[in-house]
Structure 1
Amino acid sequence: MNLFKETKLYSMITGACPVCHQESMYIESNPYKIGSTLKMHERCSHCSTKYKMEPSFFFGAMYVSYPVGIAFACAAFVISYFILKIDILTSFLIICGVMIFLLPIILRLSRNIWINFFKSYKKQKTPS
């Protein structure tokens, strides 16, 4: 993953601070702890970036979660129907199962993408 360090893609995939990439934006690293899936730190402890720039900031992530969910659903369909040659009804049930199982991942991923629309990585100056 260090290959993508210092890029927006790194922050989107890992959930790291979009400005410094030094820590996770989320309090709990495991997205499947349902009670704390979306609980975030108020600010980055390393660079003091405020994650919620305004009240209801992450409502915009709903617009991102739709295409992210469609991408996962299409991938599940292509794999189940075309590659594994499973019938259409079973493929539909597999898509439903994949969407339910990946819901916490989709929620976090869409938040990560949304905040990266507004924040950019800033390389930290090293003391010389």
Structure 2
Amino acid sequence: MAPIASNTSALLALRCPRCHEGKIFTSRALSFKFADMPEVCPVCGQPTEPEPGFYYGAMFVSYAFSVAIFAVTAVALYFLAGDPAIWVYVVVVGLMAMLFTPLSVRYSRMLMLYLFGGVNYQPNWVRYEPRAQRPAPASLGV
């Protein structure tokens, strides 16, 4: 598979920021494990979590996505449904928030990784080879 040339296209395709080939998420968005990520990119070996707790900042980005979903849904209901009763707003906005949660979480993590992960696209990266299992160290007999 050829790498994606642009950073924006690679981010939208949920690909590794270093090689633009490896998939960052291990499962589909419509599964219960929509936020599972491998420890390293399966293609180039780039760590997907640069430091412990790195994705706590993604909560703020996800919050911004949720506010946008709420606002767009409420405005659409107001104009398209003729300002329905308040319970309609609550139900529809709640359903839309639940439907878009997997996408919100995934893209907030990708934005964090691309903007603050300290990794740039390297078209000439070296192919990743997983380390061979090392034998356990022999115990020191005293």
Query: TM class by shorter-chain length?
Result: 0.7 to 0.9
Gaps of 5+ in 2: 126-142
The aligned amino acid for 1:53 is P
The answer for the alignment partner of 1:7 in structure 2 is 6
Matches within 5 A, 1:7-46: 7-28=6-27, 30-34=28-32, 36-46=33-43
TM-score for both structures, normalised by structure 2 = 0.73
The answer for the alignment partner of 2:107 in structure 1 is 109
The answer for the alignment partner of 1:52 in structure 2 is 49
Moved more, 17-26 or 7-16: 7-16
Q: Cα distance, 1:86 vs. partner?
A: 4.2
Shift in CA distance, 54/95, structure 1 to aligned 2, threshold 3 Å: same
Q: Distance in 1 between matches of 2:20 and 2:69?
A: 26
Structure with the bigger percentage of helix = 1
Identity fraction in percent: 23
Q: Distance in 2 between matches of 1:76 and 1:88?
A: 14
How much is the aligned-residue C-alpha RMSD, in angstroms? 1.9
1:76 and 2:73 aligned: yes
Shift in CA distance, 79/116, structure 1 to aligned 2, threshold 3 Å: same
Higher relative contact order (CA 8 A, sep 6+): 1
Q: Cα distance, 1:88 vs. partner?
A: 4.9
Shift in CA distance, 14/85, structure 1 to aligned 2, threshold 3 Å: farther
Q: Distance in 2 between matches of 1:71 and 1:7?
A: 26
Query: 2:50 is paired with a residue of what secondary structure?
Result: coil
Q: Which has the larger radius of gyration?
A: 2
